[in-house]
């Protein structure tokens, strides 16, 4: 049986609820979530991300741009390469938890599936 951490009082969460909601909305797109999952392992260039995420270059560029605009990833240029990494130290644990919770080892029946 898993022991759940004691939730914070609602009053303590109110100040940040809008920011967290916006973050989750940004990550709610499959490609953006996959990009964020890939970046939990550390900084990667666009080619490395593209190979892992298996997304067409235009979609990858669009989604990286949206993640940057939301402040979730940062970019660093080195010669002709652009390297991306998660911009907030809290993101690897959040994104890692999402990836682990919904990864292949955690298959749960989807709504409407019969098991």
Assigned CATH topology for domain 26-90: Arc Repressor Mutant, subunit A (1.10.10)
Across the beta sheet with 44-45, the strand order is 44-45, 81-86, 73-78
Query: CA-to-CA distance for 51 and 62, rounded, in angstroms?
Result: 16
Q: Give me the mean pLDDT over the 64-93 stretch.
A: 93
Q: Where are the domains of the chain?
A: 26-90
Query: CA-to-CA distance for 80 and 68, rounded, in angstroms?
Result: 19
What's the mean pLDDT when you consider all of the chain? 85
Strand, helix or coil for residue 28: coil
pLDDT of residue 90: 85
pLDDT of residue 96: 83
pLDDT of residue 107: 56
pLDDT of residue 13: 78
What is the gyration radius of the CA atoms in the chain, in angstroms? 16
Residue-wise pLDDT for 14-61, tens only, equals: 888 888 888 899 999 999 999 999 999 999 999 999 999 998 888 999
pTM above 0.85, yes or no: no
DSSP category for residue 87 = S
Q: Is the confidence at residue 108, as pLDDT, over 60?
A: no
- Would you state the structure tokens that stand for residue 18, as one six-digit string? 């809008």
């Amino acid at each position: 049986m898993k022991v759940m951490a004691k939730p914070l009082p609602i009053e303590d969460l109110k100040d940040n609820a809008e920011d967290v909601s916006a973050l989750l909305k940004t990550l709610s797109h499959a490609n953006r979530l996959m990009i964020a999952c890939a970046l939990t392992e550390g900084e990667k260039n666009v080619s490395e991300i593209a190979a892992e995420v298996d997304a067409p270059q235009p979609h990858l560029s669009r989604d990286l741009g949206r993640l940057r605009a939301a402040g979730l990833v940062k970019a660093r240029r080195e010669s002709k390469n652009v390297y991306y990494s998660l911009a907030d130290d809290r993101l690897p644990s959040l994104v890692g938890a999402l990836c682990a919770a919904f990864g292949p080892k955690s298959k749960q029946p989807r709504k409407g599936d019969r098991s």
